[in-house]
Amino acid sequence: MSIAKSGVKLVESSDIVEKARNVLLHEADEIRQLAGRLGAAFEAAVHMIVDCRGRVVVTGVGKSGHIGGKIAATFASTGTPAFFMHAAEASHGDLGMITADDVVIALSNSGESDEIINILPAIRRLGAPILSITGSTDSTLSRESQVHLSAAVSHEACPLGLAPTASTTAALALGDALALCVLELREFTAEDFAHSHPGGSLGRRLLVRVKDVMRTGDAIPSVKENATVQQAIQEISSKGMGFTAIVDAEQHPVGVFTDGDIRRLFVQGLTDHQAPVTSVMSHQPKLLGTQQMAVEAVSLMEQHRINGFLAVNEQQQLAGAFNMHDLLKAKVV
């Protein structure tokens, strides 16, 4: 199949896919080459960031600036306070965001970007160490940095050799490597990550606890031990959760009575509504502590084929109840 438009070269679809594959393979090969060159300078860069008492300030212009923004975002989301400062804006007041406790990561493929070179004296006066990432090991920026990392590539993926492609990919990958090595040294956990992403699915799964989703007070379906089957059915109907807890005088759950139990009673021909609910309830109800993660309930519901849970406090007293609808509403599942 050929594609042709006015002013557009006629190219076979198979050729397009092959060209795209060559771009991806070339950029992947450049990253492999970069990985083989890592050494003492990279270790020094990681320790510089780990020892930083302030924030990581990433700066750059053009395509390097776009890459720098992503690197700063990766650091921030993995436990290292960071932000991006556009090098062109730095000399117009944004340098005031930098302190001596910060580390500055400067990106420039050539290492000669005027906007960055012009602010180096000011950064040195502020006392912030500079970590540079460039494509040239012999450049003004690399020489003026305390630590320099090379993101050099043999050539760009662009057929014209002009558009930053392989070089920006290499710089981005190097930034990821820095951030993730720092993450491990700081023993950053998945729960720590969730605290930085409370609006995401991972945040909800790792931060939402049973106490955050459970129904409390009068909304809890509950009857005393001396209640009848009829009273328990009325409680299930009025609370709309499909079950009710049966509690003793100290509010400890001793059983649970569910819609399923009601159906089984009718199938068995047991229709004495005045019988004590303790004679037909399910003993040893499934309980979760109010401080447990709500996501734990999901796997337990699947494992035990149940639709709801009773929640208890530290004294093992009934404190709440929730079902799958509550977990869905909280977007835990």
Element (H, E) at 12: strand 8-12
281-303 burial, b at 16+ Cβ within 10 Å, e below that, comes to beeebbbbbbebbbbebeeebee
Residue 287 phi, psi (nearest 5)? -120, 150
| Mean pLDDT of the residues in the chain | 89
Do residues 307 and 324 lie in contact, with contact meaning Cβ atoms separated by under 8 Å?
Answer: yes
Question: Given the structure tokens 């930098």, which residue do they identify?
Answer: 98
Contacts of 84 (CB under 8 A, 6+ apart): 57, 58, 59, 65, 68, 69, 72, 73
Bridge partners for 181 per DSSP: none
Task: Please check the confidence at residue 204 and state whether its pLDDT lies above 60.
Answer: no
Least confident of 106-120, 136-150, 217-231, 297-311: 297-311
Is the whole model's pTM more than 0.85, yes or no?
no
Bridge partners for 133 per DSSP: 107, 149
Task: Please check the confidence at residue 333 and state whether its pLDDT lies above 50.
Answer: yes
Element (H, E) at 82: strand 82-86
Contacts of 194 (CB under 8 A, 6+ apart): 200, 202, 203, 205, 206, 207
CB atoms within 10 A of CB 139: 20
Question: pLDDT tens-digit profile of 121-135?
Answer: 999 999 999 999 999
Task: Please check the confidence at residue 271 and state whether its pLDDT lies above 80.
Answer: no
Band of the pLDDT at 301, cuts 50, 70, 90? confident
Question: pLDDT tens-digit profile of 39-71?
Answer: 999 999 999 999 999 999 999 999 999 999 999
